[in-house]
Structure 1
Amino acid sequence: MKLTRSKLALLLAAVYSSSFSASLWAQESLNQAQSVQSRTNAASASSQKNIDKSAEQSLELRGDIERLQEEVKNMKVYRDHLSALVKSQEGEADSLAVQIEEIKDTRQGIVPLMYSMLDGLKSIVSNDKPIKLAQRQQRIEKLESLMTRADVSDAEKYRRILEAYQIEMDYGTKLDAYQGEVDIDGQTRQADILHLGRISLVARNFDQSEYWAWNQKTQTWQSVDASLQPEINKAFSVAMQQSAPGLLILPVSLAKGEAN
């Protein structure tokens, strides 16, 4: 069949038009697909950001939870510690209450004891040889004054009395020389005085022209035989650390009862 030129032209035009329309449709479909892909990628990126942010927040929350759990654990340990302290303090409070009551009873007993000890010191000094007599009497007077002072504790008062007893004990073991007063025939004279424990008590005047020894029986100072004067001088030298210790021969100042 033969087509006329005009018909052929119309057919070609129709085919071209149809092909052009298909091309336009394909291009539009491609553009739409690319737009959808772009939107999908954008949504995916946004979702990934949200996921990353949520993961970061989740990690932070987990860290907070772990810190809180550790704090709770520490607080429990501290609570148990405080409970133990409170229990211990309650026990100490009960113990202190008992001790306070005991201290009250002890103070009621210690005060009369201290006065009794002071009376004992007075008796020792009054019946003993006059070794540093003025110092010992002054010490007792200070202790008696101390007993009535409210600003000094009973413990300190008791310590001072014990210290005085220790000094009295030391008089019985030392070789000591000092200057003091002696009563010679009713006259008070200054002299060098030496005692060897409580065994011997002697004195000499400052120019070493007179020597005396204490007689415990008669409670008086008596002249010493001239033969003993060099020994007394030797004893003074030893007591004042001017000579080395050695054998000393001194008058004995013991009453008959003390010698036994």
Structure 2
Amino acid sequence: MNLIKTSLAIVLATSVTAALANNLNSAQSIQSKTNAASAASQKRIDVSDERTQGLKAEIEQLEQEVKNLKVYRDHLTALVSSQEQEVVSLNSQIDEIKSTRQGIVPLMYQMVDGLKAIVAEDVPIKLDQRNERISKLESMMTRADVSDAEKYRRILEAYQIELDYGTKLGVYQGEISIDGQTRETDVLYLGRISVVARSLNGAKFWSWDLALNQWQEVDSSLKSELDKAFSIALKQAAPSLITLPVSLKVAEAQ
């Protein structure tokens, strides 16, 4: 009887042990599967987190680009507005230039005619050069390759030269007409106050008479003073007081 009980106890213990072993193996298997699933889940979480961080960085970058594009758009809008204003201003200036040009062209022709009148009525200082300068200005006025600004500049330059003739002491070699005969002489001018011609041999002198509009022979008593004036004008002598015949009308002299 005792033997039977002992046997039954052994059998029961063996059965319980086997069941416990099976349960342990099953638990271990479940634990392993659980760990594997947990690891896989964690991996997926890590991957998902990396993607989330990447997407977040992309979103931040896109947001910054949107901000930059907005700033650039505002900049372009301001530029377009400024350019539109500039176009309006330029159109207005073009209209003004057209109007100014319509007025300046006739003025330039009048100025050239004025130069011709000055030279025609003036004392005979470098007449060939002055008439040649006027001819060049007249030819220039119809040239399309010369701008109106350049034409105006050259006309003003010609007027400046005419002004200089009225203030300077100078000498040049040129022809004068005496009693219908042409003579080669040295011509001295002191502004427009006095114009004196001297024969190339220095023997004779003539003064321009504005009232008679012709050359008049100068008394030989003034030869030394006139020679001194020529020397000063040629920078062969130091400046000093000189006596010259006056080439003015009576009213102008007074």
Report if TM-score (shorter chain) is over 0.5: yes
SS for the counterpart of 1:80 is helix
Aligned equivalent of 2:187: 193
Aligned equivalent of 2:104: 110
Matches within 5 A, 1:86-165: 86-165=80-159
Structure 2 counterpart of 1:176, one-letter code: G
CA contact (8 A) 2:133 2:158 kept: yes
Aligned equivalent of 1:70: 64
Tell me, yes or no, if structure 1 residue 53 matches structure 2 residue 52.
Answer: no
SS for the counterpart of 2:132 is helix
Matches within 5 A, 1:239-254: 239-254=233-248
Structure 2 counterpart of 1:213, one-letter code: S
Structure 2 counterpart of 1:133, one-letter code: L
Distance in structure 1 (CA, Å) of the matches to 2:211 and 2:244: 17
SS for the counterpart of 1:177 is strand
Measured against aligned partners, the alpha-carbon deviations of 1:106-126 in whole angstroms (never above 9, x if no partner) come to: 333322222222221111000
Measured against aligned partners, the alpha-carbon deviations of 1:53-81 in whole angstroms (never above 9, x if no partner) come to: 22222222222222222222233333333
Shift in alpha-carbon separation, 1:46–1:202, aligned structure 2, 3 A: farther
Q: 1:255 deviation in Å?
A: 1.8
The partner residue of 2:76 within 74, 79, 82 is: 82
Shift in alpha-carbon separation, 1:22–1:240, aligned structure 2, 3 A: farther
Aligned equivalent of 1:168: 162
Relative to structure 2, which stretch is displaced further, 82-91 or 141-150? Answer: 82-91
> Gapped runs of 5+ residues in structure 2?
none
Aligned equivalent of 2:17: 23
Identical-residue share of aligned pairs (%): 61
> Gapped runs of 5+ residues in structure 1?
none
Structure 2 counterpart of 1:181, one-letter code: E
Distance in structure 2 (CA, Å) of the matches to 1:235 and 1:33: 137
Shift in alpha-carbon separation, 1:68–1:247, aligned structure 2, 3 A: farther
Q: 1:242 deviation in Å?
A: 4.0
Q: 1:47 deviation in Å?
A: 2.1
Measured against aligned partners, the alpha-carbon deviations of 1:176-230 in whole angstroms (never above 9, x if no partner) come to: 2222222233222222222221112223233433333222222223333444334
Relative to structure 2, which stretch is displaced further, 130-139 or 201-210? Answer: 201-210
Distance in structure 1 (CA, Å) of the matches to 2:225 and 2:28: 136
Distance in structure 2 (CA, Å) of the matches to 1:228 and 1:111: 49
The number of residues matched between the two structures is: 254
Distance in structure 1 (CA, Å) of the matches to 2:33 and 2:27: 10
CA contact (8 A) 2:208 2:216 kept: yes
Structure 2 counterpart of 1:24, one-letter code: A
Question: Taking structure 1 as the reference length, what is the TM-score of the superposition?
Answer: 0.83
Shift in alpha-carbon separation, 1:253–1:57, aligned structure 2, 3 A: same
SS for the counterpart of 2:244 is coil
